[in-house]
Structure 1
Amino acid sequence: MSARPVLPLRILVAATLAAAGIGVSAPAHAAPGSLREGLFGQQGRYDGRRFSAPPVARYVVEDGGGFILDRSTPRPMVKFEDSAEVWVLQPQPAPRGDIIYKNDLGEPVLRATRLGGLTVFTRQRPSGAAAALVAGATPLRLQTLGPEALLQRLAQASARASRAARRLIPFEADASPETAPLVADAAMVAAEAVVRLAADSEGRQVLSGVDKVTLVEGRRPGASLRGGVILITVTPEDGMAGRPSSERILAAAGAR
């Protein structure tokens, strides 16, 4: 790997620093009519081909909530409105011409039918729930960050993780100007994993042995927990696919 300028070499952020938000904006929307109308519009009809939707679109779920699905890149991505995490998906063919979109643990997140129907699977909806297309949306992309903004994002991640653990959990990171956006995003995802660890008794037991979170570059994205350190490996050339999801971090910590 070629050498990159580092800013600064090791960044240690305490939870007392000011927090800054990370978000992806979506356009205003109106509530859809029927599921078929929402997906296909008034003129939609089946002609033997797969129905199309905008490459980046917002969907609402039949029992509440919504998400943005971005299919404008080789690896589709989804972001749920109640979370800051962006999930990078792997599409796989399924029976009847359907496509299943899986996370980095191989678990189904979405299922698209050849007619354009979409089903979403979450922890709250393990058996799936129908989703309806609302409108086009803003693509999910990493934000450009300078050194100060990276410090703020790491501070936010540290503060959130520390509040969940009820003690200081500092975040360390090696980052260059090129890798700063991915490192900041990976830190947010790691904080989400810590919050989830703190949400149940088994996870809190694991969390009691966590002293800090360290983010480094490597050939493959990954996560591990050793010697009290949650080690997050990012691969910048892979974009958002170059960091582990919160689910993968939890699995690495032995909490799933």
Structure 2
Amino acid sequence: MITRRLFLAATLPAVVMGVPVLAAGADSPLRNRRNRREEVEPVAEFHRQDGRAGFVLDRSGDVWLLQPLNGGEVLALAPQRAPGGDTSFQTDWGQEIIRVSSIGAVTYYPEDQPNGVIAEEWEPARPIEIPDAGVDALRNRVTEAALELADLFGRPIQVEYGAAPRDGLGMMVETFDRLVEAMELALDEGANLQALNRVKVATADAPSMEFAADQFLVRINPLTGYAGRPSSIRMARALAAGSIPA
């Protein structure tokens, strides 16, 4: 097996999800300072040394995106300085998902390997894109979400959405996917959601969540891509935090 150290020509974005990032002019976190350097494509597929499914890392936009190769949820990552000159890339709920060393070694922290696994091999991949959707697709997804939540809760749940620009409808649809997953996660973790009767996805300048009275409101910025909506785990934690203790 040939392993590769990684050289990244692009610099980190100036702002990522409101988190302070590396100073301008600092070394890229995928820069190999040794003699042998290899440039990684802006979108690359990484493979784990243990042979399990790796991930696609998309650095083509202002926010780095990661998607497991098993088709899991797309995660928007925020960079943080780590000890030893490493860079830690974290999810919107604050969990480290990859770490890049000062010489370009990548460590992946998936759920099935919380202590980390090396992911050194790579090959070019397609960009992680938001599926296009129209008004009919959004309406159909809302109807499906209502049926899924009714089955999950054993009672009707009202599902609503606010106005969104045409270019943001695909992200609205994707958010309802994450919202249903969040409900499942919250209930699995023991959240008491008996008071919940309504859910709504609306647009705003920045992502946020509010669980008040009988409604769970998710605000997203559909024009900023995956970084403009909360992850399913972040939603689930907001639901659990706002639930009534049993």
What is the TM-score normalised by the length of structure 1?
Answer: 0.73
1:227 paired residue number: 213
AA in 2 matched with 1:238 = T
Question: What is the aligned counterpart of 2:157 among 169, 190, 211?
Answer: 169
Greater RCO (CA < 8 Å, at least 6 residues apart) = 1
For residue 136 of structure 1, what is the aligned residue in structure 2? 124
TM superposition shift of 1:227? 1.8
The DSSP-based 3-state class of the residue aligned with 1:74 is coil
Secondary structure in 2 aligned to 1:253? helix
- For structure 2, the 5+ residue unaligned runs are 8-31
Deviations 1:8-38 (A, max 9, x none): xxxxxxxxxxxxxxxxxxxxxxxxx35x259
Instruction: Tell me the number of residue pairs that the alignment of Structure 1 and Structure 2 aligns.
Output: 216
Q: Which residue of 1 aligns with 2:29?
A: none
Residue from 47, 61, 73 that aligns with 2:34 = 47
Given candidates 233, 238, 246, the residue that maps to 1:247 is: 233
Q: How far has the Cα of 1:238 moved from its partner?
A: 2.3
| Cα deviation 1:60-98 (Å, max 9, x = unaligned) | 334422221111111101112345421111122323332
The alpha carbon displacement at 1:111 in A equals 0.6
Q: Deviations over 1:216-242 (max 9, x none)?
A: 112321112222222100123422211
Establish whether residue 191 from structure 1 lines up as the match of residue 191 from structure 2: no
In structure 1, distance between residues paired with 2:99 and 2:83 = 11
The separation in 1 between residues aligned to 2:203 and 2:86, in whole angstroms, is: 36
Match of 1:210 among 173, 192, 196: 196
Report the alpha carbon displacement of residue 116 of structure 1 after superposing the two structures with TM. 2.5
Which one-letter code corresponds to 1:152 in the other structure? N
Equivalent runs, 1:1-256 vs 2, <5 Å = 33=1, 36-37=3-4, 47=34, 51-63=38-50, 64-176=52-164, 177-200=166-189, 202-203=190-191, 206-254=192-240
Contact kept in structure 1, 2:5 and 2:38, CA below 8 Å: no
- Please tell me the residue identity of whatever aligns with 2:96: P
Is the partner of 1:127 in helix, strand or coil? coil
Please give the alpha-carbon distance, in whole angstroms, between the structure 1 residues aligned to 2:135 and 2:33: 52
The Cα shift of 1:130 comes to 1.9
SS in structure 2 of the partner of residue 189 of structure 1: helix
For residues 122-158 of structure 1, give each alpha carbon's deviation from its aligned partner in whole angstroms, at most 9, with x where no partner exists: 3333222222434211111212211111123333444
Summarize the Cα distance change of 1:166–1:53 in structure 2 as closer, same or farther, 3 Å threshold. Answer: farther
* Structure 1 segments (4+ residues) deviating >3 Å: 37-40, 48-52, 81-84, 155-170
Report the residue type matching 1:214 in the other structure. K
Q: Is the 8 A contact 2:5 2:37 kept in 1?
A: no
Alignment-derived partner of residue 22 in structure 1? none
Residue in 2 aligned with 1:25?
Answer: none
SS of the residue aligned with 1:138?
coil
For 1:244, give the aligned amino acid: P
Structure 2 counterpart SS, 1:89:
strand
Q: How big is the shift at 1:118?
A: 1.5
8 Å CA contact 2:186–2:240 kept in 1: the answer is no
Compared CA separation, residues 255 and 65, structure 1 to 2 (3 A): farther
SS in structure 2 at match of 1:143: coil
Question: Percent identity at matched positions?
Answer: 27
Counterpart code for 1:241: A
CA deviation after TM superposition for structure 1 residue 112, in Å: 1.3
Deviation at 1:197, TM superposition (A): 1.9
The CA distance in 2 between the partners of 1:255 and 1:121, in whole Å, is: 25
